[in-house]
Structure 1
Amino acid sequence: LLTLLQKLVKSAQVLPQCYKLQEVQCDFSQACEGGSFADIFQGQYGEQKVCVKAVRIFQKADNTRMLKAFAKEIVIWAHLSHENILPFYGIYEGVSGRICIISPWIDPGDLSVYLQNFPHKPRLPLVVDITAGLRYLHQSDIVHGDLKAKNILVSDDGRALIADFGISRIVVSTKLASTQVSSGTMRWMAPELLIDDEENCPTVTLKSDIWSLGCVYYEIFTRKVPFYHCANDARLAMIRLDPMAIPDRPTDGPEEDSISRDMWWLMRRCWDSEPCSRPGANDIHALVTDLFGVREQRWSHKAALWKVVGGGLEIRPTSERARRILFQLSGICT
């Protein structure tokens, strides 16, 4: 049913009305943060605090094109339900018609901020959470495409949620955002994606996600970005021309930022230059739980994140919800 829904949305090139939210309260003059492809604001929807991610655009005509490009990705996100995947609440049209993606507001913020603020907190549970979230995506043949610490949120009780899958990739591929996105993401990109071939443009895959997953592990244990010693984009680009290049293993940091032998071995497997030789997310999840003895934990806050308080709208994916969307789209396509 979901596959059919994706095809219909892509064909109609519109978003179903049930994804569009009204009465989102947000002060668009006070951005909390500027991400690689959007400005982030704190808003209110009903009684719930929400994250309002306003996509950065440069031409008025870009709005319609962006919505068309987002349609398939939004449908996928809206119908996912996992403890380590950030819930999607809907789309809101903000100031000047800017497309805004609405999701729960998560404190204290993204993984990179969390690691800097809480360096002594256990990090293996984060590894398990992120691996479990990616395994869930890959089991549904969903590629994240931009996995890095900035695109992973951590709740106040230390649980990780993967965010922004597919969305930032759409912005880059449609060339609606600044060119800084590409250079900023290069640190986490698999080597096969950096091949400059106009005839055969490389695309993200499940295996390229695994390369990026190794980089996220690197960020967790070192609190540094991959290839951190390359502050200059030109130098970084030269290094990444070598498909065998991988991040250096730091040896001079504090003890809490050290990488164990087993963890480094797992990272190296994720960074294999041959995509087919990299382990799958399911295998990595098994390795993580076996090697480190850390198991998935139930998250008591999941129900609160999934419930949007505003008429008591429950956004869990259901077959009935999908059927309603299909009915809406059938009217558009006829």
Structure 2
Amino acid sequence: MHDLQTLLREAIHLRLMPHPHIVPCMGIVMSETMLRIISPWMENGDIVTYTKKHPSVSKKDLLEQVADGLHFLQQYKLVHGDLKGSNVLINDHGKACIADLGLSNLTSLSGMSNLSSAGTYRYMSPERIVPEKFGMDTPRATFSSDVFSFGMLVYEVYAGHPPFHGIRFEASAIPRIANGERPMRPRYIEDEVWSLATRCWNESPKERPHIFEVYNTLAVLP
């Protein structure tokens, strides 16, 4: 019941409060084992695929749009929980839109959880991996953990592959992040953007910038 209420609340938010950088909600599908938000088909695919096909597009501008969408979600107290390249789609106008809002925090009605319901380890903040180290009771997603994932997204967009791409198994990223390891700087990335990414994935949630600061930082860059 809690999962259903959560999904319905988020679907209503998407319907009543549309945003240019959030994939719109067209409805929901419910079955005995599944809850899904219906969204428009995005012909351009995800942000990494799009930037590879269109190398001249501004990666900085697309990430600025993602930050704008995240700020919108935070204003309505909505945590994404599974921000990554495959969950940022490009619409017909070439604009970045955040997808899969809320699905990361849901489990199926049968009570079985999966990777999506937990988030994706490669992008997950250390306090979600080892919550007891940070005085947390559960590995719940927060606004600060979304900012951490945004930093990993920055890396993914500029590097063209996920964080820790050399690791075959998703769970193998857990000890690396928990021990403070972060991805190496991609070859082509602006100094200011890289500096922002490293601030976003600070180990301490309190030391990470607010998403509005992230947006403003990107917005003033050429």
For the superposition of Structure 1 and Structure 2, which TM-score range results when normalised by the shorter chain? 0.7 to 0.9
In the comparison of the two structures, how many residue pairs are matched?
Answer: 219
Partner of 2:168: 231
Deviation (angstroms), 1:90? 0.8
Deviation (angstroms), 1:92? 3.4
Residues 88 and 119 (structure 1 numbering): CA distance in 2 closer, same or farther, change over 3 Å? same
Partner of 2:120: 185
Residues 97 and 234 (structure 1 numbering): CA distance in 2 closer, same or farther, change over 3 Å? closer
Give secondary structure in 2 for the equivalent of 1:127. Answer: helix
Deviation (angstroms), 1:99? 4.2
Identity of aligned residues (%): 31
Q: What amino acid is the match of 2:14?
A: W
Deviation (angstroms), 1:80? 2.5
Report if aligned partners of 2:42, 2:89 keep a CA contact under 8 Å in 1.
yes
TM-superposition CA deviations, 1:144-186 (whole Å, max 9, x none): 11111111110233101111121222138985344x4478700
* 2:221 matches 1:286: no
Of 209, 214, 236, the match for 2:151: 214
Q: 1:78 and 1:270 mapped to 2: Cα distance? A: 30
Q: 2:149 and 2:124 mapped to 1: Cα distance? A: 6
TM-superposition CA deviations, 1:258-288 (whole Å, max 9, x none): 1121111101110111111111111111111
Report if aligned partners of 2:144, 2:205 keep a CA contact under 8 Å in 1.
yes
Of 194, 197, 213, the match for 2:129: 194
Residues 177 and 259 (structure 1 numbering): CA distance in 2 closer, same or farther, change over 3 Å? same
Listed as ranges, the matches of 1:150-169 within 5 Å are 150-169=86-105
Q: What amino acid is the match of 2:97?
A: L
Report if aligned partners of 2:48, 2:156 keep a CA contact under 8 Å in 1.
yes
Partner of 2:16: 79
**Greater per-residue strand proportion:** 1
- Taking structure 1 as the reference length, the TM-score comes to 0.59
Partner of 1:330: none
Partner of 1:136: 72
Unaligned 5+ segments in structure 1 are: 1-12, 14-64, 252-257, 294-334
Partner of 1:329: none
Q: 1:208 and 1:97 mapped to 2: Cα distance? A: 28
The alignment yields a C-alpha RMSD, in angstroms, of 2.7
Q: What amino acid is the match of 2:126?
A: P
Deviation (angstroms), 1:83? 0.8
Listed as ranges, the matches of 1:1-334 within 5 Å are 13=1, 67-68=4-5, 70-93=7-30, 99-171=35-107, 175-178=111-114, 180-181=115-116, 185-195=120-130, 197=132, 200-233=137-170, 235-242=172-179, 244-251=180-187, 258-290=188-220, 292-293=221-222
Q: 2:192 and 2:33 mapped to 1: Cα distance? A: 50
Partner of 1:51: none
- Taking structure 2 as the reference length, the TM-score comes to 0.86
